[in-house]
Amino acid sequence: MDLRNKIDIQYAKEYILLGVCAVLVLMFSAIAPGQFLNKGNLGTMARQIPELGLLSLAMMPVFLTGGTNLSNVATASLSGIVTAMVMSGLYGAGMGPGASIFLALLAGLGVALLCGLFIGFGVAWMGVAAMLFTLATMTLFKGISMNLTQGAAVSGFPSGYYQFSRVSLLGIPALMWLFGLTVLFMTLLMGHTAWGRCVYMIGCNPTVSEYSGIRVKHVLLKVYLLSAVMSFLAAVVMTSRYNSAKVDYGSSYLLQSLTACVLGGMDIKGGRGTVIGVVLAVVTLQVISSGMNVLGINRFFTDVTTGGILILALALNFFGERIRDNKIKK
């Protein structure tokens, strides 16, 4: 299949997903009039979307290379805990709020980059399968986080850090502005730079990419560093929203971020997918979650729904590939 057909198929998936999202919004609005599309619920959705959205964007570049980053949530948790501990420690010791927030963010970003560097080294240079290595690092990072906190929440932040998740600009929460700028950056990086094209080429065929002069190992390392930065931004959003940090914050987002990537049209084999597709999938999942919450459906059923959507998306991708392969053979 040529590149033009692949692009057309990707656009078709995005339009279908946009239509599904619109239908879900209309359905929940009709079932719960005045509750789903009210200002309070929309504000809550706008503050929750960035968490899942940033973790899904952390998964996306790895997916493009044909890998999987199962430690994105664990990286976010560890970097968030380090940020929280440094911030509360410095602020409690009498340092000004601005300086304590700045230094804490630097410390958290440094930890996230170390996590990404470690994962990238294992996958790119050691050649360990991404799924196996990130499963191991997920356990490692969770263990470190648990030992640092003993399972307790870390709090005691300056009020300005907490207020970041509460302020709005032009009626839009600051968290959504952060997410929007990140989406713009990722769209430009992955779709309009030579490095982004290298990532897509590696996902299509790493061997051919190597012979074409692409430094595959270096690109893979940068992919996991980028994934770590996205995870750190998600950690900032979560710790600001909850005004604390804890090991299990965001634990349900691992399955949801995987689902968002697959539902957004990304190929688990690599080489295909867009930022916009992932964002549309994130919004769709949030609409489903908020709609179920408005209707009073047990929140634990959300995981069941997410798992079902993931299986359905994988099945549709599988049968779609089979149908396209049969057409090509004919």
Question: What is the pTM (predicted TM-score) of this model?
Answer: 0.88
Q: How much is the CA Rg of the chain, to the nearest whole Å?
A: 20
| Bridging pattern class, strands 168-169 and 172-173 | antiparallel
From the list 198, 185, 187, the residue with the least C-alpha distance to 271 is 198
Query: Which domains does the chain carry?
Result: 3-329 (1.10.3470)
- CA pair distance 51, 32, nearest whole angstrom: 25
Would you give per-residue pLDDT tens digits along the chain (330 residues)? 444 455 555 666 777 888 888 888 888 888 888 788 888 888 888 888 999 999 999 999 999 998 889 999 999 999 999 999 999 999 888 888 889 999 999 999 999 999 999 999 999 988 889 999 999 999 999 999 999 998 888 888 898 888 888 888 888 888 999 999 999 999 999 988 999 999 999 988 888 888 888 898 999 999 999 999 999 999 999 999 988 998 888 888 888 898 888 888 888 887 788 899 899 999 988 888 888 888 777 766 766 777 777 777 777 666 655 655 555 555
Q: What is the pLDDT of residue 46?
A: 87
Q: What distance lies between CA 286 and its chain's CA centroid?
A: 13
Q: What angle do CA 77, 41, 53 make, to 5 degrees?
A: 35
Quick check: 195 and 222 in contact, CB under 8 A? yes
